[in-house]
Amino acid sequence: MSSWAQTLSRLDAFSKVDSTHQARTSSGGFLSVVVLLVMAFMVTSELRDFLQYQQTHEFAVDADVQQELQVNFAMTVAMPCPLMRVDVLDASGNRQNLDDGITMQAVSRRRAFTKLSGSHSAGLNGVADMHVHDIFAEAGRLRRVPGVREKGLAKPSSLASIGDLDDAACHIEGSVMVNKVAGLFHITAHGHAYGGAYVPSRMMNFTHHIDELSFGPLYPSLDNPLDNTLHVSDDHVSAFRYFISIVPTTYIDASTRHLSTNQYAVNEYYKPHSDLSDLGGKPPGIFLEYSFESVAVTVREHRGSIVAFAVRLCAAISGLFVTVGIAHSLFACFANAVSGRRARVSQGILDSKHATTVHMPATVVER
Protein backbone atom coordinates (compact mmCIF):
# COMPACT_ATOMS: atom_id res chain seq x y z
CA MET A 1 0.00 0.00 0.00
CA SER A 2 1.39 3.40 -0.95
CA SER A 3 2.10 6.09 1.60
CA TRP A 4 -0.79 8.15 0.21
CA ALA A 5 -3.20 5.27 0.71
CA GLN A 6 -1.84 4.63 4.19
CA THR A 7 -2.35 8.28 5.08
CA LEU A 8 -5.95 8.12 3.86
CA SER A 9 -6.59 4.90 5.80
CA ARG A 10 -5.43 6.58 9.01
CA LEU A 11 -7.89 9.40 8.34
CA ASP A 12 -10.78 6.98 7.73
CA ALA A 13 -13.69 8.10 9.93
CA PHE A 14 -15.76 5.12 8.81
CA SER A 15 -13.56 2.33 10.12
CA LYS A 16 -14.95 -1.17 9.70
CA VAL A 17 -15.35 -3.77 12.42
CA ASP A 18 -13.85 -7.11 11.54
CA SER A 19 -16.45 -9.80 10.98
CA THR A 20 -14.79 -12.06 13.57
CA HIS A 21 -15.65 -9.48 16.23
CA GLN A 22 -19.32 -9.19 15.24
CA ALA A 23 -22.03 -11.05 17.11
CA ARG A 24 -25.39 -11.70 15.46
CA THR A 25 -28.42 -12.04 17.73
CA SER A 26 -32.10 -12.73 17.22
CA SER A 27 -33.01 -9.37 18.76
CA GLY A 28 -30.75 -7.63 16.26
CA GLY A 29 -32.39 -9.48 13.39
CA PHE A 30 -35.87 -8.51 14.64
CA LEU A 31 -34.87 -4.86 14.92
CA SER A 32 -33.39 -4.99 11.41
CA VAL A 33 -36.75 -6.12 10.00
CA VAL A 34 -38.55 -3.39 11.94
CA VAL A 35 -36.07 -0.77 10.71
CA LEU A 36 -36.56 -1.84 7.09
CA LEU A 37 -40.36 -1.58 7.40
CA VAL A 38 -40.20 1.83 9.06
CA MET A 39 -37.65 2.98 6.48
CA ALA A 40 -39.95 1.95 3.63
CA PHE A 41 -42.81 3.91 5.21
CA MET A 42 -40.64 7.01 5.70
CA VAL A 43 -39.33 6.89 2.13
CA THR A 44 -42.89 6.55 0.79
CA SER A 45 -44.11 9.47 2.90
CA GLU A 46 -41.25 11.73 1.87
CA LEU A 47 -41.72 10.83 -1.80
CA ARG A 48 -45.45 11.55 -1.61
CA ASP A 49 -44.81 14.94 -0.01
CA PHE A 50 -42.21 15.75 -2.66
CA LEU A 51 -44.54 14.90 -5.55
CA GLN A 52 -47.36 17.02 -4.14
CA TYR A 53 -47.66 20.71 -5.01
CA GLN A 54 -46.87 23.22 -2.29
CA GLN A 55 -48.78 26.49 -1.95
CA THR A 56 -47.70 29.80 -0.47
CA HIS A 57 -49.99 32.74 0.22
CA GLU A 58 -48.80 36.32 -0.14
CA PHE A 59 -50.77 39.29 1.13
CA ALA A 60 -50.35 42.86 -0.07
CA VAL A 61 -52.31 46.07 -0.33
CA ASP A 62 -54.62 46.03 -3.34
CA ALA A 63 -53.05 48.46 -5.80
CA ASP A 64 -55.45 47.74 -8.66
CA VAL A 65 -56.93 50.97 -10.01
CA GLN A 66 -59.71 49.17 -11.87
CA GLN A 67 -62.84 51.33 -11.86
CA GLU A 68 -65.44 48.70 -12.68
CA LEU A 69 -66.05 45.07 -11.84
CA GLN A 70 -68.15 42.44 -13.57
CA VAL A 71 -70.82 40.67 -11.51
CA ASN A 72 -72.10 37.32 -12.81
CA PHE A 73 -75.29 35.83 -11.45
CA ALA A 74 -77.93 33.22 -12.18
CA MET A 75 -80.74 32.38 -9.80
CA THR A 76 -84.32 31.17 -9.73
CA VAL A 77 -86.89 32.96 -7.53
CA ALA A 78 -90.27 31.45 -6.67
CA MET A 79 -92.18 34.52 -7.92
CA PRO A 80 -93.56 35.54 -11.31
CA CYS A 81 -91.17 37.70 -13.34
CA PRO A 82 -93.56 40.67 -13.83
CA LEU A 83 -93.79 41.14 -10.05
CA MET A 84 -90.05 41.68 -9.50
CA ARG A 85 -87.33 44.16 -10.35
CA VAL A 86 -83.52 43.93 -10.11
CA ASP A 87 -81.37 46.92 -9.11
CA VAL A 88 -77.83 47.78 -8.06
CA LEU A 89 -77.16 50.70 -5.72
CA ASP A 90 -73.55 51.58 -4.86
CA ALA A 91 -71.91 53.76 -2.22
CA SER A 92 -71.38 56.60 -4.70
CA GLY A 93 -75.15 56.98 -5.07
CA ASN A 94 -75.30 55.47 -8.54
CA ARG A 95 -78.33 53.24 -9.11
CA GLN A 96 -78.85 50.88 -12.03
CA ASN A 97 -82.09 49.18 -12.89
CA LEU A 98 -81.10 45.91 -14.54
CA ASP A 99 -84.47 44.82 -15.88
CA ASP A 100 -83.47 45.80 -19.43
CA GLY A 101 -79.96 44.33 -19.27
CA ILE A 102 -80.59 40.84 -17.99
CA THR A 103 -82.72 37.84 -18.84
CA MET A 104 -85.83 37.15 -16.79
CA GLN A 105 -87.45 33.94 -17.97
CA ALA A 106 -90.68 32.43 -16.64
CA VAL A 107 -90.26 28.83 -15.47
CA SER A 108 -92.34 26.27 -13.62
CA ARG A 109 -91.76 26.51 -9.88
CA ARG A 110 -92.38 22.81 -9.28
CA ARG A 111 -90.13 21.77 -12.12
CA ALA A 112 -87.35 24.22 -11.22
CA PHE A 113 -87.15 23.41 -7.51
CA THR A 114 -87.82 19.67 -7.60
CA LYS A 115 -84.94 19.03 -10.02
CA LEU A 116 -82.38 20.62 -7.73
CA SER A 117 -79.66 18.24 -6.57
CA GLY A 118 -76.52 18.77 -4.56
CA SER A 119 -77.69 22.09 -3.12
CA HIS A 120 -76.16 23.16 0.16
CA SER A 121 -76.06 26.00 2.63
CA ALA A 122 -74.01 29.09 1.95
CA GLY A 123 -70.29 29.01 2.55
CA LEU A 124 -69.70 25.24 2.44
CA ASN A 125 -67.56 25.15 -0.67
CA GLY A 126 -65.37 27.39 -2.76
CA VAL A 127 -62.05 27.79 -4.49
CA ALA A 128 -60.30 28.29 -1.17
CA ASP A 129 -60.33 24.52 -0.66
CA MET A 130 -58.83 23.75 -4.09
CA HIS A 131 -55.22 23.50 -5.18
CA VAL A 132 -53.91 25.98 -7.73
CA HIS A 133 -53.48 23.39 -10.51
CA ASP A 134 -57.09 22.24 -9.91
CA ILE A 135 -58.30 25.84 -10.15
CA PHE A 136 -56.56 26.29 -13.52
CA ALA A 137 -58.07 23.02 -14.74
CA GLU A 138 -61.57 24.01 -13.66
CA ALA A 139 -61.21 27.52 -15.09
CA GLY A 140 -60.44 26.01 -18.49
CA ARG A 141 -63.58 23.91 -18.53
CA LEU A 142 -66.71 25.22 -20.22
CA ARG A 143 -69.30 23.90 -17.83
CA ARG A 144 -72.75 25.15 -18.66
CA VAL A 145 -74.30 27.30 -15.93
CA PRO A 146 -77.96 27.97 -16.73
CA GLY A 147 -78.28 31.35 -18.36
CA VAL A 148 -74.87 32.82 -17.57
CA ARG A 149 -73.14 34.03 -20.68
CA GLU A 150 -69.40 34.44 -20.83
CA LYS A 151 -69.24 37.75 -22.68
CA GLY A 152 -71.24 40.94 -22.42
CA LEU A 153 -74.70 41.43 -21.03
CA ALA A 154 -77.44 38.90 -21.30
CA LYS A 155 -80.10 39.91 -23.80
CA PRO A 156 -83.58 40.55 -22.37
CA SER A 157 -86.37 38.19 -23.21
CA SER A 158 -90.10 38.80 -23.36
CA LEU A 159 -91.90 38.31 -20.07
CA ALA A 160 -94.37 35.47 -20.05
CA SER A 161 -97.81 35.85 -18.56
CA ILE A 162 -98.16 34.89 -14.96
CA GLY A 163 -100.55 32.00 -15.52
CA ASP A 164 -100.79 29.73 -12.49
CA LEU A 165 -99.56 31.84 -9.56
CA ASP A 166 -98.79 28.81 -7.39
CA ASP A 167 -96.51 27.34 -10.07
CA ALA A 168 -94.92 30.56 -11.36
CA ALA A 169 -91.21 31.21 -10.88
CA CYS A 170 -88.59 33.36 -12.56
CA HIS A 171 -85.06 32.54 -13.66
CA ILE A 172 -82.86 35.65 -13.53
CA GLU A 173 -79.46 35.67 -15.18
CA GLY A 174 -76.84 37.99 -16.56
CA SER A 175 -73.45 39.67 -16.25
CA VAL A 176 -73.35 43.36 -15.41
CA MET A 177 -70.62 45.94 -14.82
CA VAL A 178 -70.72 47.82 -11.51
CA ASN A 179 -68.47 50.44 -9.95
CA LYS A 180 -65.70 48.96 -7.82
CA VAL A 181 -67.10 50.38 -4.60
CA ALA A 182 -69.33 48.93 -1.93
CA GLY A 183 -72.81 48.32 -3.24
CA LEU A 184 -76.12 46.54 -2.90
CA PHE A 185 -77.45 44.11 -5.50
CA HIS A 186 -81.11 43.49 -4.70
CA ILE A 187 -84.27 41.88 -6.02
CA THR A 188 -87.52 43.34 -4.73
CA ALA A 189 -91.22 43.29 -5.51
CA HIS A 190 -92.73 46.17 -7.46
CA GLY A 191 -94.14 48.99 -5.38
CA HIS A 192 -92.11 48.32 -2.22
CA ALA A 193 -88.53 49.59 -2.62
CA TYR A 194 -89.29 51.70 -5.71
CA GLY A 195 -92.27 52.86 -7.68
CA GLY A 196 -94.56 50.73 -9.78
CA ALA A 197 -97.70 48.70 -9.35
CA TYR A 198 -98.05 47.55 -5.76
CA VAL A 199 -97.62 43.79 -5.24
CA PRO A 200 -99.66 42.40 -2.33
CA SER A 201 -97.82 40.36 0.28
CA ARG A 202 -99.81 37.20 -0.49
CA MET A 203 -98.20 37.09 -3.95
CA MET A 204 -94.63 37.29 -2.61
CA ASN A 205 -92.34 34.31 -2.20
CA PHE A 206 -88.60 34.99 -2.10
CA THR A 207 -87.54 31.36 -1.89
CA HIS A 208 -84.61 31.17 -4.31
CA HIS A 209 -81.85 28.96 -5.62
CA ILE A 210 -78.53 30.58 -6.58
CA ASP A 211 -76.85 28.81 -9.49
CA GLU A 212 -73.95 31.24 -9.86
CA LEU A 213 -72.68 34.33 -8.10
CA SER A 214 -69.16 35.50 -8.88
CA PHE A 215 -67.20 38.72 -9.27
CA GLY A 216 -64.75 39.45 -12.05
CA PRO A 217 -64.15 37.36 -15.19
CA LEU A 218 -66.56 34.46 -15.41
CA TYR A 219 -65.11 30.99 -14.87
CA PRO A 220 -68.26 28.84 -14.78
CA SER A 221 -66.56 25.72 -13.43
CA LEU A 222 -65.08 27.43 -10.37
CA ASP A 223 -67.28 27.01 -7.32
CA ASN A 224 -67.99 29.96 -5.06
CA PRO A 225 -69.56 30.01 -1.59
CA LEU A 226 -73.06 30.86 -2.84
CA ASP A 227 -73.04 28.67 -5.96
CA ASN A 228 -75.72 25.97 -5.99
CA THR A 229 -77.33 27.08 -2.72
CA LEU A 230 -81.02 26.85 -1.86
CA HIS A 231 -82.71 29.35 0.47
CA VAL A 232 -86.31 28.74 1.53
CA SER A 233 -88.66 31.41 2.81
CA ASP A 234 -91.01 30.42 5.63
CA ASP A 235 -93.43 33.26 4.98
CA HIS A 236 -94.67 35.47 2.16
CA VAL A 237 -93.04 38.57 3.61
CA SER A 238 -89.35 37.97 4.19
CA ALA A 239 -85.94 39.48 3.55
CA PHE A 240 -82.76 37.58 2.73
CA ARG A 241 -79.57 39.52 3.36
CA TYR A 242 -76.08 38.44 2.34
CA PHE A 243 -73.02 40.36 3.52
CA ILE A 244 -70.22 39.65 1.05
CA SER A 245 -66.54 40.57 1.48
CA ILE A 246 -64.62 40.43 -1.81
CA VAL A 247 -60.87 39.78 -1.90
CA PRO A 248 -58.95 40.14 -5.21
CA THR A 249 -56.97 36.93 -5.75
CA THR A 250 -54.29 35.94 -8.24
CA TYR A 251 -53.28 32.31 -8.73
CA ILE A 252 -49.85 31.45 -10.15
CA ASP A 253 -49.20 27.81 -10.98
CA ALA A 254 -45.90 25.94 -11.23
CA SER A 255 -45.49 27.00 -14.88
CA THR A 256 -45.97 30.71 -13.89
CA ARG A 257 -49.39 31.01 -15.52
CA HIS A 258 -51.57 33.72 -13.94
CA LEU A 259 -55.29 33.56 -13.19
CA SER A 260 -56.94 36.67 -11.71
CA THR A 261 -60.29 36.37 -10.02
CA ASN A 262 -62.06 37.37 -6.80
CA GLN A 263 -62.76 35.26 -3.77
CA TYR A 264 -65.44 36.23 -1.32
CA ALA A 265 -66.70 35.32 2.11
CA VAL A 266 -70.39 35.59 2.95
CA ASN A 267 -72.58 35.89 6.02
CA GLU A 268 -76.26 35.18 5.60
CA TYR A 269 -79.10 36.74 7.57
CA TYR A 270 -82.74 35.73 7.28
CA LYS A 271 -85.75 36.34 9.47
CA PRO A 272 -89.34 35.57 8.49
CA HIS A 273 -92.02 38.19 9.11
CA SER A 274 -95.74 37.83 9.51
CA ASP A 275 -96.53 41.11 7.75
CA LEU A 276 -94.87 44.18 6.27
CA SER A 277 -94.94 46.09 9.57
CA ASP A 278 -92.40 43.63 11.04
CA LEU A 279 -89.76 44.77 8.55
CA GLY A 280 -89.44 48.17 10.20
CA GLY A 281 -89.93 50.08 6.97
CA LYS A 282 -87.44 47.95 5.03
CA PRO A 283 -88.76 46.25 1.89
CA PRO A 284 -88.91 42.46 1.52
CA GLY A 285 -86.63 40.87 -1.03
CA ILE A 286 -83.18 39.42 -1.68
CA PHE A 287 -80.29 41.75 -0.81
CA LEU A 288 -76.64 41.05 -1.58
CA GLU A 289 -74.52 43.70 0.10
CA TYR A 290 -70.94 43.53 -1.17
CA SER A 291 -67.77 45.36 -0.14
CA PHE A 292 -64.11 45.19 -1.20
CA GLU A 293 -61.24 44.36 1.10
CA SER A 294 -58.12 46.51 0.86
CA VAL A 295 -55.85 43.46 0.76
CA ALA A 296 -55.01 41.35 -2.30
CA VAL A 297 -53.97 37.71 -2.12
CA THR A 298 -51.48 35.93 -4.36
CA VAL A 299 -51.43 32.13 -4.21
CA ARG A 300 -48.29 30.56 -5.68
CA GLU A 301 -47.89 26.90 -6.46
CA HIS A 302 -44.49 25.20 -6.56
CA ARG A 303 -42.80 21.86 -6.11
CA GLY A 304 -40.22 21.09 -3.44
CA SER A 305 -36.50 21.15 -4.24
CA ILE A 306 -34.86 17.83 -5.13
CA VAL A 307 -31.91 18.82 -2.91
CA ALA A 308 -34.18 19.45 0.05
CA PHE A 309 -35.93 16.13 -0.62
CA ALA A 310 -32.58 14.27 -0.64
CA VAL A 311 -31.42 15.98 2.56
CA ARG A 312 -34.67 15.17 4.38
CA LEU A 313 -34.55 11.58 3.19
CA CYS A 314 -30.93 11.07 4.29
CA ALA A 315 -31.59 12.72 7.63
CA ALA A 316 -34.62 10.53 8.26
CA ILE A 317 -32.86 7.27 7.35
CA SER A 318 -29.64 8.03 9.23
CA GLY A 319 -31.55 9.28 12.25
CA LEU A 320 -33.56 6.08 12.28
CA PHE A 321 -30.42 3.92 12.20
CA VAL A 322 -28.69 5.90 14.94
CA THR A 323 -31.74 5.97 17.20
CA VAL A 324 -32.45 2.26 16.88
CA GLY A 325 -28.75 1.42 17.32
CA ILE A 326 -28.49 3.43 20.54
CA ALA A 327 -31.75 1.96 21.84
CA HIS A 328 -30.56 -1.57 21.08
CA SER A 329 -27.19 -0.97 22.80
CA LEU A 330 -28.85 0.45 25.91
CA PHE A 331 -31.27 -2.47 26.04
CA ALA A 332 -28.40 -4.96 25.67
CA CYS A 333 -26.41 -3.28 28.45
CA PHE A 334 -29.44 -3.27 30.72
CA ALA A 335 -30.18 -6.92 29.95
CA ASN A 336 -26.56 -7.94 30.60
CA ALA A 337 -26.49 -6.03 33.87
CA VAL A 338 -29.71 -7.65 35.06
CA SER A 339 -28.62 -11.16 34.04
CA GLY A 340 -25.20 -10.71 35.68
CA ARG A 341 -26.69 -9.58 38.97
CA ARG A 342 -29.09 -12.50 38.98
CA ALA A 343 -26.18 -14.91 38.43
CA ARG A 344 -24.28 -13.47 41.38
CA VAL A 345 -27.30 -13.64 43.66
CA SER A 346 -27.97 -17.27 42.77
CA GLN A 347 -24.46 -18.40 43.77
CA GLY A 348 -23.98 -19.90 47.29
CA ILE A 349 -20.94 -19.86 49.56
CA LEU A 350 -19.67 -23.17 48.24
CA ASP A 351 -20.01 -21.88 44.65
CA SER A 352 -17.77 -18.93 45.29
CA LYS A 353 -14.34 -18.97 43.75
CA HIS A 354 -12.98 -17.44 46.93
CA ALA A 355 -14.64 -19.85 49.34
CA THR A 356 -12.57 -20.23 52.55
CA THR A 357 -11.60 -23.68 53.72
CA VAL A 358 -12.40 -24.09 57.39
CA HIS A 359 -9.95 -26.30 59.27
CA MET A 360 -11.47 -27.88 62.36
CA PRO A 361 -9.08 -28.75 65.21
CA ALA A 362 -8.55 -32.44 65.71
CA THR A 363 -10.15 -33.92 68.77
CA VAL A 364 -7.81 -36.01 70.95
CA VAL A 365 -9.45 -38.90 72.71
CA GLU A 366 -7.64 -40.06 75.84
CA ARG A 367 -7.84 -43.62 76.80
Residue 193: which domain range?
59-302
Interior angle at CA 44, CA 40 and CA 49, nearest 5: 150
pLDDT band at 62 (very low <50, low <70, confident <90, very high): confident
Residue 357: inside a domain: no
Mean pLDDT value across the chain: 75
Q: Are 217 and 249 in contact (CB under 8 A)?
A: no
Question: In sequence order, what DSSP letters do the residues of 237-277 get, joined into one string?
Answer: EEEEEEEEEEEEEEEE-TT--EEEEEEEEEEEEEEEESSGG
Residue 279: inside a domain: yes
Q: Are 212 and 220 in contact (CB under 8 A)?
A: yes
Q: Domain tally for the chain?
A: 1
For β-strands 237-252 and 285-292, DSSP reports them as parallel
Which residues make beta-bridge pairs with 188? 85, 285
Residue 221: inside a domain: yes
pLDDT in tens, 126-168: 555 555 555 555 555 544 444 433 333 333 334 344 556 677 8
Residue 42: inside a domain: no
Q: Say how many CA atoms lie within 13 Å of 126 toward its Cβ.
A: 16
Residue 120: inside a domain: yes
d(CA 126, CA 138): 12
Beta-sheet strands, E only, within the chain: 54-61, 68-77, 84-90, 95-97, 103-108, 168-179, 183-189, 208-215, 229-231, 237-252, 258-273, 285-292, 295-302
pLDDT band at 183 (very low <50, low <70, confident <90, very high): very high
Residue 6: inside a domain: no
Q: pLDDT at position 76, please?
A: 92
Q: pLDDT at position 164, please?
A: 61
Q: pLDDT at position 63, please?
A: 80
Residue 27: inside a domain: no
Nearest-Å Rg of the Cα atoms of the chain is 39
Distances in Å between the Cα of 337 and the Cα atoms of 16, 59, 80, 329 are 27, 61, 91, 12
Q: With b meaning 16 or more CB within 10 Å and e meaning fewer, what string describes 161-173?
A: eeeeeeebbbbbb
Which of 209, 247, 231 minimizes the C-alpha distance to 126? Answer: 247
Distances in Å between the Cα of 315 and the Cα atoms of 46, 70, 319, 323 are 11, 52, 6, 12
Residue 350: inside a domain: no
Q: pLDDT at position 182, please?
A: 92
Q: pLDDT at position 265, please?
A: 92
For β-strands 237-252 and 54-61, DSSP reports them as unpaired
